[in-house]
A and B are shown apart, each in its own frame.
Chain A
């Protein structure tokens, strides 16, 4: 039998979605409340690792997850670099924020210009990168052997 016992798998199914939602909330509200791309990205990675540990995995699926997480990590890095370069192209200043992006009213969700977008990029990068490290270390394979 693959993965852990039925009780653990059912509870993980209930918890992982909530954990993922919390990670997304922390990333999107990074400019208003404590948190941001780094914290939310690690939370998203923790949710993925929880599912992977509880259910175990087979090699083909693991290889596909591994390629997908590499793609997501690289695209997060490219998005961050692209946001920085947008300021350079439009206003002659690397990491330009004021006057280029929409600043908005303080304490609103859509405000802060570059900062929420960069938070999303960093969240993608950190979450996918840590999940790729976890897959490479291969702990879910050990659980499968039990």
Chain B
């Protein structure tokens, strides 16, 4: 229960950064924090006490069949791709911020809004 609540707190910190900060780089950092919170929540949901990582390493485990004691592999498979996608979308947001800086010479979004046109 406590690990889940910590994930929700990290999500709330990320949400606070995204909707309150006026610096573009800070907003990108907020999106990254939200992404880590969701990834960690998925990995925690699949955890099973006293179980092994879902990888068969010995011939004995091959023969065990039904009785293998593994953690839940499905959330891990979902998160594995999401991490790499998160990196590429972060890079996309960073390049947009860099282009805006080249045009307006500031990261402050209220300044950018004022200089419209």
Contacts and interface: CB of A to CB of B under 8 A. Distances in A.
Direct contact of A and B (CB under 8 A): yes
B87 interface: yes
Contact of B88 (A34, A106, A133): A133
B72 to A, nearest CB: 16
A37 B19 CA distance: 35
Contacts of B87: 42, 130
Interface residues of A, number: 15
B98 A130 contact: no
Contacts of B55: 32-34
B91 interface: yes
Nearest to B62: A106
B59 interface: yes
Contacts of B56: 106-107
Interface residues of B, number: 16
Contact of A42 (B81, B84, B91, B94): B84
B80 interface: yes
Contacts of B95: 136-137
A32 B54 CA distance: 11
Contacts of A32: 55
A126 interface: yes
Nearest to B87: A130
B49 to A, nearest CB: 21
B74 interface: no
B76 to A, nearest CB: 10
A51 to B, nearest CB: 19
B94 A137 contact: yes
B53 interface: yes
Interface in B20-66: 53, 55-57, 59, 62
Contacts of A107: 56-57, 59, 62
Given A34-B53, A130-B87, 10 more contacts: A32-B55, A33-B55, A38-B84, A106-B62, A129-B88, A130-B88, A133-B88, A136-B95, A137-B91, A137-B94
13 contacts: A33-B55, A36-B80, A38-B83, A38-B84, A41-B84, A42-B84, A42-B87, A107-B57, A107-B62, A126-B84, A129-B88, A130-B88, A137-B95
